[in-house]
């Protein structure tokens, strides 16, 4: 089986890019743009989103995202596409995943415009599908990556700092999961094995986040774009996106998927649940104490979950936590990529031990 590297055709990051969407559209389409937009983003940035299309008299449709990346939502947009020949996804991770899925089923190119650096979803050839109860349903592998990813760092800087920090939580998992996949020679979501390039990007992602994460947090709190914020934005979106896809997923994302079955976690962001999943993975791997403590302390400084209390699961029974542990080990999930066998009982033990270790720090 080959090793495979894949990435978007173009990744564009800078200030003011939201005002240039028609320029990027014109490189790919001509009949009309179908813009799937988070309603808050549409209200906040309507002039920036539509200005370039209006100025060039280019047809477009604003299609509000319904809130969940479910098959019902995907089919709704697919039915409304009309003659439009390029799909845009503009907003957070679920908006982007829905846009990628719509484009896939309609056999159209997709341009992704993340408005927060909250996940590594923008660059990937993958959509994560949930049911209408907000529970993880399946991964939808896609045949190609987005045509283009356009990131406006002025918008990123104005987004809630919690989103940036959730992206750090998602991005930090990239290296540890890729390392596990490399050890196990796992098959990644590309359909191939982990690559040297994937591991290099994953390591650069981790090192960038440790170096600039807290400085980027300060910039986002001030609503300004600094070099540190630019670096962390690239790490959260591009390095993590290409790194996870080429390097592979393992325990951290499997634990995230397991936690989605517990309603107490439904108001947590993707990267927040992944963050606790990474701590769980390090405990499962029996990581060195200094490495584990460094990781937990950094996550605490980033306001990321490290304890069951942070997940709204303080006092949860073992039976309740076991629901998440079993789901994390479900057939077809990425726990199988760990370099050793992992049973639900192992996941439960690691979650409880991670909670105690983090409480002591």
- Containing 301, the helix (H) or strand (E) segment is helix 289-301
Tell me, yes or no, if 193 is annotated catalytic: no
| Residues 338, 179: Cα–Cα separation, whole Å | 9
- Among residues 97, 193, 256, 346, the one annotated as catalytic is 256
- Among residues 97, 152, 170, 212, the one annotated as catalytic is 170
Going by their DSSP bridges, the two strands 110-114 and 148-152 should be labelled as: parallel
Tell me, yes or no, if 134 is annotated catalytic: no
Tell me, yes or no, if 312 is annotated catalytic: no
Please answer whether residues 71 and 128 qualify as being in contact, where contact means their C-beta atoms are separated by less than 8 angstroms: no
| Residues 19, 179: Cα–Cα separation, whole Å | 39
| Residues 192, 204: Cα–Cα separation, whole Å | 21
Q: Could you tell me which residues are beta bridge partners of residue 34?
A: 61, 87
- Among residues 120, 212, 253, 346, the one annotated as catalytic is 253
CA dihedral angle for residue 202, residue 291, residue 334, residue 269, rounded to 10 degrees: -80
Going by their DSSP bridges, the two strands 136-141 and 126-130 should be labelled as: antiparallel
Tell me, yes or no, if 270 is annotated catalytic: yes
Going by their DSSP bridges, the two strands 33-37 and 60-64 should be labelled as: parallel
Task: Catalogue the active-site residues.
Answer: 170, 253, 256, 270
């Amino acid at each position: 089986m080959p090793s495979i590297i894949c990435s978007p055709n173009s990744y564009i990051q800078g200030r003011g890019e939201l005002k240039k969407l028609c320029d990027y559209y014109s490189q790919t389409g001509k009949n009309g743009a179908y813009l799937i937009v988070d309603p808050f983003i549409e209200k906040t940035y309507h002039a920036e989103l539509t200005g370039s299309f209006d100025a060039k008299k280019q047809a477009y449709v604003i299609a509000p995202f319904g809130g969940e990346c479910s098959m019902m939502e995907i089919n709704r947009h697919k039915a409304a596409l009309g003659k439009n020949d390029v799909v845009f996804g503009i907003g957070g991770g679920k908006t982007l995943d829905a846009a990628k899925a719509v484009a896939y089923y309609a056999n159209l190119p997709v341009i992704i415009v993340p408005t927060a650096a909250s996940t590594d979803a923008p660059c990937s050839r993958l959509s994560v599908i949930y049911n209408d109860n907000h529970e993880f349903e399946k991964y939808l592998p896609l045949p190609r990556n987005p045509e283009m990813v356009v990131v406006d760092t002025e918008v990123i800087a104005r987004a809630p700092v919690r989103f940036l920090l959730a992206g750090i939580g998602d991005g930090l998992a990239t290296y540890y999961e890729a390392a596990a996949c490399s050890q196990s020679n796992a098959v990644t979501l590309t359909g191939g094995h982990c690559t040297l390039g994937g591991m290099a990007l994953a390591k650069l992602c981790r090192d960038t986040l440790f170096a600039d994460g807290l400085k980027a947090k300060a910039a986002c709190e001030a609503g300004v774009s600094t070099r540190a914020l630019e670096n962390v934005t690239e790490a959260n979106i591009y390095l993590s996106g290409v790194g996870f896809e080429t390097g592979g997923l393992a325990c951290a994302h499997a634990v995230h998927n397991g936690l989605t079955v517990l309603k107490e976690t439904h108001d947590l962001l993707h990267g927040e649940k992944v963050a606790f999943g990474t701590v769980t993975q390090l405990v499962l791997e029996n990581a060195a104490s200094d490495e584990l403590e460094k990781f937990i302390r950094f996550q605490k400084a980033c306001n990321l979950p490290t304890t069951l209390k942070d997940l709204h699961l303080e006092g949860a029974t073992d039976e309740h936590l076991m629901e998440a542990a079993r789901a994390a080990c479900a057939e077809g999930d990425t726990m199988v990529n760990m370099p050793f066998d992992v049973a639900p009982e192992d996941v439960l033990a690691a979650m409880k031990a991670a909670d105690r270790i983090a409480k002591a720090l």
